[in-house]
Amino acid sequence: MPNSWLTPPPRPSTAHAALATERQRVLTKPPGSLGQLEQIAITLAGLTGTDQPTVDPIHIVVFAGDHGVCAEGVSAFPQEVTAQMIANFASGGAAISVMAEELGASLEVVNLGTVGEIPELPGVLNQIIAPSTANLAETPAMTSSQVVAALTSGDQTAERAARAKCRLFIGGDMGIGNTTSAAALACALLDQAPHTLVGPGTGLNTEGVARKTRVVERALARHGNDQDVLSVLTSLGGFEIAALTGAILGCAARKIPVLVDGFIVSVAALTAVHRQPGVRDWLIFAHRSAEPGHHAVLKALDASPLLDLGMRLGEGSGAAIALPLLRSACALHNRMASFSDAGVSGKSED
């Protein structure tokens, strides 16, 4: 099992956050007039341990894996779409592929196992665990060795990001059926009823959502009351959710801030925080997903996302859309003049 699963992450630098706070007070603007952008810069200064915060270079990783629970009819799309979308990522046609190119960020796709055959593709790392998880409504989704393999894959991704001296990590997901797994995980970790968290996912109608809710109820009844995080993840998770959990833990351990995407990635973040509470310090939340379960997860993580655009695509796309806000916050913090530099009179004292 990766060390990041076992070791508490370091604390951000309070000294650099304090320096950034003081700098915000003397920039040529009324105090607080840049709103959340000011706090973003202060947070990033503490996370990156520097007076000149930056988020570049950025590493985006999409983890992909299939889910046995698709046998229960929980998705509006067929399971072969997972493999097809991996090919779409590689060819540059997916939303996250477009955004990675637009943002000048590196994009890596990690294939952890699909029911469809996938040839060797550029930018796709095959770390196959199995063609699919098991049907979580009937049996644990993963074996103990499979969940460790997925966590390790995520941790290795964080290590690659650290070696590349990345200053920000964005994780994305691809896996037909994964909103069912994420909802089940969130219900177990937050002790909430499925009807409050289960949503349409890829576009289910009312009847489909009701069926999906019953599947999650069966999964939770099968799982029982075991609250151990590793047990919950093994029983109800997916390969890509476990890998995202490992990546988030690994990034925090290596002092790499994580810009958290929507529902699936937030559930992975919730899992990581339940295992290592200090991970929360290293998370910035990009957007509020339209998936209903995301609201409860964000509340549990005391998170205020930067955007609320009604997105629910996954892939890390919402985080990519929010990234220019972080870049803007850093540019304003680093390059605006102070009152003394510009010869501008500051706010008079009362």
pLDDT at 61 over 70: yes
DSSP secondary structure string for all residues of 198-222: ---TTT--HHHHHHHHHHHHHHHHH
Residue 109 has phi, psi (to 5 degrees) of: -115, 130
The residue to which tokens 């790392």 are assigned = 125
Residue 123 has which token pair? 């930018």
State pTM to two decimals: 0.96
The residue to which tokens 């990001």 are assigned = 161
Among the listed residues 263, 210, 204, 274, the one whose alpha carbon sits nearest the alpha carbon of residue 238? 263
Per-residue pLDDT of 256-292, as tens digits, reads 999 999 999 999 999 999 999 999 999 999 999 999 9
DSSP secondary structure string for all residues of 138-151: TS-SS-HHHHHHHH
The residue to which tokens 């890596």 are assigned = 108
Could you tell me where the beta strands, DSSP code E, fall in the chain? Answer: 58-64, 106-111, 124-126, 168-174, 258-260, 283-285
Q: Which of 38, 72, 291, 315 is catalytic?
A: 315
Query: Bigger pLDDT: 254 or 1?
Result: 254
> What's the rounded Cα separation, in Å, for the pair 166 and 253?
14
pLDDT at 344 over 70: yes
Residue 222 has which token pair? 């099968």
Q: Cβ–Cβ contacts within 10 Å for residue 87, how many?
A: 16
pLDDT at 347 over 70: no
pLDDT at 196 over 80: yes
Q: For residue 94, name the pLDDT band (cuts at 50, 70, 90).
A: very high
* pLDDT for res 349: 56
pLDDT above 70 as % of the chain? 99
> What's the rounded Cα separation, in Å, for the pair 338 and 345?
10
Per-residue pLDDT of 154-176, as tens digits, reads 999 999 999 999 999 999 999 99
pLDDT at 350 over 60: no
Contact of 16 with 50, CB cutoff 8 Å:
yes
Per-residue pLDDT of 218-259, as tens digits, reads 999 999 999 999 999 999 999 999 999 999 999 999 999 999
* pLDDT for res 323: 98
Q: What mean pLDDT is predicted for residues 196-206?
A: 94
* pLDDT for res 348: 59
> What's the rounded Cα separation, in Å, for the pair 286 and 304?
9
> What's the rounded Cα separation, in Å, for the pair 339 and 322?
30
Query: Bigger pLDDT: 9 or 3?
Result: 9
* pLDDT for res 321: 98
The residue to which tokens 């529902």 are assigned = 263
315 part of the active site:
yes
Q: What is the average pLDDT score of the chain?
A: 96
> What's the rounded Cα separation, in Å, for the pair 52 and 332?
11
Q: What mean pLDDT is predicted for residues 200-211?
A: 94
Residues recorded for the chain: 350
Tell me the CB-side half-sphere exposure of residue 94, using CA atoms within 13 A.
27
> What's the rounded Cα separation, in Å, for the pair 99 and 212?
31
